[in-house]
């Protein structure tokens, strides 16, 4: 029997009980307790936490302010400031959604309202024997929506190893509880092998990874260092690229998870053009729910030669 490619289930070691890691275990315990609360109560708590974050001075406010000013120059200063405030409030919900996505029970997941759109695109690709790259972006509810979509679709994901060993053990173990497989960001061979078997991989290439495989392509009209891995994965595995967008509905109404039509004529022979096309697709997703995108990430930290720093 062949083992599924990807990162194996993490093994617990005594080193994880080292006293300097006890604060991390306290954090994990708090998340587990939070995940036991009803969904409507968690959403209310997230909004309350977001109200505090909005008012608390933080370097991340400056990052979000800079990003939103760059990406939405058509808005006046007042409208940009309102969008920044809305995003910082959204961070409170994001923290709650992390806890729920990683620690919530299957029973709790089943109670969260969720609407799927466009599943027929995925079914058609699978019927044709093709692997699928679900191309998405870093929205605040990414982790929770990965868990929600796994109720209908057997997916795998790519991830970056966490610095704290307690969170790495806890989160990887949680992800492998619902994902078909998890691949470290540099495990290209395993990822391609998985896709060639007809697997579905969720991949978000919209962060500044400082990779040698970056190209500068527009994101909201701003040159953004973007990894070309989406192009290479699709080319090597002969996979279909399907845009995957998720947004949170107001109050406790839940989430919409939407799969778009496959991106036509991708991959091509031009990695840079394909990467720009993917960025345009993610930009369209962001415009549908701009406050829910992760604006506190320094998306434009790496600059083309001769360009001044932004942050």
Q: What is the pLDDT of residue 179?
A: 92
Q: What is the pLDDT of residue 5?
A: 75
**Within 13 A of 12's CA, how many CA atoms are on the CB side?**
4
Neighbours of 189 (CB within 10 A): 11
Please report which helix (H) or strand (E) contains residue 122, including its range.
helix 119-127
Burial class (CB in 10 A: 0-12, 13-18, 19+), 99: buried
C-alpha dist (Å) from residue 144 to 7, 155, 187, 209: 20, 14, 24, 23
Write out the two tokens for 164. Answer: 């704290």
Q: Give 10-residue mean pLDDT values along the chain (311 residues).
A: 74 95 97 96 96 92 97 97 97 96 94 95 92 96 94 90 95 94 91 94 90 90 95 95 96 95 93 96 96 97 93 95
pLDDT digits (tens, 9 = 90+) for 62-120: 999 999 999 999 999 999 999 999 999 999 999 999 999 999 999 999 999 999 999 99
Q: What is the pLDDT of residue 212?
A: 73
Write out the two tokens for 120. Answer: 């027929």
Q: What is the pLDDT of residue 4?
A: 66
In whole angstroms, what is the distance from residue 94 CA to residue 97 CA? 5
Which residues have C-beta within 8 Å of that of residue 107, sequence separation ≥ 6?
none
In whole angstroms, what is the distance from residue 89 CA to residue 269 CA? 42
Q: What is the pLDDT of residue 1?
A: 43
Write out the two tokens for 73. Answer: 């120059």
Q: What is the pLDDT of residue 56?
A: 87
Mapped onto helix, strand or coil, the DSSP state of residue 146 is helix
| Contact present, 241 and 135 (Cβ < 8 Å) | yes
* Sheet order of strands, 240-248 included: 114-117, 255-259, 240-248, 132-135, 200-203, 155-159, 181-184
- Quote the pTM value: 0.92
């Amino acid at each position: 029997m062949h083992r599924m490619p990807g990162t194996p289930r993490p093994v617990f070691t005594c080193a994880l009980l080292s006293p300097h890691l006890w604060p991390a275990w306290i954090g994990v315990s708090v998340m587990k307790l939070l995940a036991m609360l009803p969904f409507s109560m968690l959403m209310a708590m997230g909004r309350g936490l977001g109200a505090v974050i909005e008012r608390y001075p933080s370097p991340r406010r400056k990052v979000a302010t800079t990003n939103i000013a760059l990406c939405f120059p058509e808005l006046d200063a007042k409208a940009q400031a309102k969008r920044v405030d809305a995003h910082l409030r959204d961070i409170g919900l994001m923290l709650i959604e992390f806890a729920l996505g990683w620690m919530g029970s299957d029973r709790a997941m089943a109670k969260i309202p969720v609407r799927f759109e466009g599943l027929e695109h995925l079914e058609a690709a699978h019927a044709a024997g093709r692997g699928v790259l679900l191309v998405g972006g870093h929205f605040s509810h990414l982790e929770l929506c990965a868990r929600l979509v796994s109720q209908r679709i057997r997916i795998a994901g790519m991830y970056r190893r966490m610095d704290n060993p307690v969170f790495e053990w806890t989160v990887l173990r949680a992800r492998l509880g619902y994902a078909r497989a998890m691949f470290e960001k540099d495990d290209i061979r395993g990822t391609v092998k998985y896709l060639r078997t007809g697997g579905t991989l969720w991949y978000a290439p919209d962060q500044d990874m400082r990779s040698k495989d970056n190209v500068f392509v527009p994101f909201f009209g701003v040159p953004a260092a973007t990894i070309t891995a989406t192009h290479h994965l699709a080319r090597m595995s002969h996979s279909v690229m399907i845009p995957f967008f998720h947004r949170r509905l107001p109050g406790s109404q839940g989430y919409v998870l939407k799969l778009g039509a496959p991106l036509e004529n991708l991959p091509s022979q031009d990695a840079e053009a394909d990467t720009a096309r993917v960025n345009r697709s993610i930009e369209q997703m962001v415009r549908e729910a701009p406050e829910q995108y992760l604006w506190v990430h320094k998306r434009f930290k790496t600059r083309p030669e001769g360009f001044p720093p932004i942050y």
